[in-house]
Amino acid sequence: MLEAFFGRDPAYDGVFVTGVRTTGIFCRPTCVAKKPRRENLSFFGDAKEALDAGYRPCLRCRPLEAVGASPEWLQPLIEAVEADPARRWSDEELRSRGLSPERVRRWFKAHHGMTFQAYHRARRLGSALGHVRGGRPVGRAAFEAGYDSLSGFQEAFRQYFGASPTGLEAATIVRVDRVATPMGLMLAAATDESLVMLEFVDRRMLSTQVRRLRGRLGAVFVPDTNDVIRSADRALEAYFRGDPTPFDLPVRLLGTPFQLEVWEALREVPYGETRSYAHLARRVGRPAAVRAVGHANGMNALAIVVPCHRVVGADGRLVGYGGGLWRKQRLLDLERGAWIATAGSPRAARPLLRA
């Protein structure tokens, strides 16, 4: 925990919080405030423990909010972008809204991997691609996306997507958005019909999953949201409140016939229960294929919705989870009623970590 705290390791956001005795404040591991002396630190399994111990939440890293949630100061800008994707935003306009362009840029780099201007440009191009695929002429799509000239639009489009607008008329558009949860940011990806990916953003296999889905769907991924992603966000909120049946979502599983069999078997594992890899192998009629079942489990692209966290070793020990074993433990604790997340802040009956 000391190493994670002083290294500001984002993989531990949601695992513990750190109290500073000299200030009475508790922080996330990623807090950018000046680090105190080691002897002045206390560690807690969650925010409730820190509050019960008399610490107050840090105003910089906001440990009571869901990990990765858009901060209050940024929310009006995000809503304005969604209301009018074609609008161009200059630094002067941001300042007129009381926003520091540098602060906005840092937040988007940290949470989207790109600057606000790059995010907004990708958002506009994705919207334009949707118009082209809907049958609108390229010129009209360029105008509606806020471009002054067709040549400028086509060049920007080519640079971002690697092809012209007409060259992608038949491509599947996959909208991609961040979803904040008490256990960390997740990346949700969906067509307008179904959810195709839901992964924790710090999963090492994430880029592999994106490439695999892009190839299987013949898709282009654009930063955007839609009704399917919004439904997934609401379902996750319900799940982390302890609802055992929130995932009545349209999903599309993309894999080999064997992988599809394994994933369907996973969806049959009851809430709050676990099964072994050997059990799943028998369930799909391949009792000797335990390793293959484990590999298929690891290739699941719909975390929580297809509950691969409910699969354990033959002796009941936790093994193999792309989102990290600590998340696997917490998800199982949640489903067994030992851990409930409310208003973005976890409450633990039995904390995972103590110090």
- The distance of Cα 151 from the centroid of its chain, to the nearest Å, equals 35
Which of the 8 DSSP states describes residue 69?
A: P
The catalytic residue among 31, 58, 61, 308 is 308
Spell out the long-range contacts of 293-297 with Cβ–Cβ below 8 A and sequence spacing 24 or more.
Answer: 293/262, 294/320, 296/255, 296/258, 296/259, 296/262, 296/263, 297/262, 297/266
| Tokens at 222, concatenated | 């654009």
| Tokens at 5, concatenated | 């705290």
Backbone angles phi, psi at 100, to 5 degrees: -85, 120
Q: Is 31 one of the catalytic residues?
A: no
The catalytic residue among 27, 31, 58, 61 is 27
Q: Is 308 one of the catalytic residues?
A: yes
Query: What single letter denotes the amino acid at residue 350?
Result: R
Residue 219, beta-bridge partner list: 172
CB count within 10 Å of CB 68 equals 18
No. of H helices and E strands in the chain? 14, 12
Ramachandran area for residue 62 (φ above 0: left; ψ -120 to 50: alpha; else beta)? left
**Catalytic positions:** 27, 308
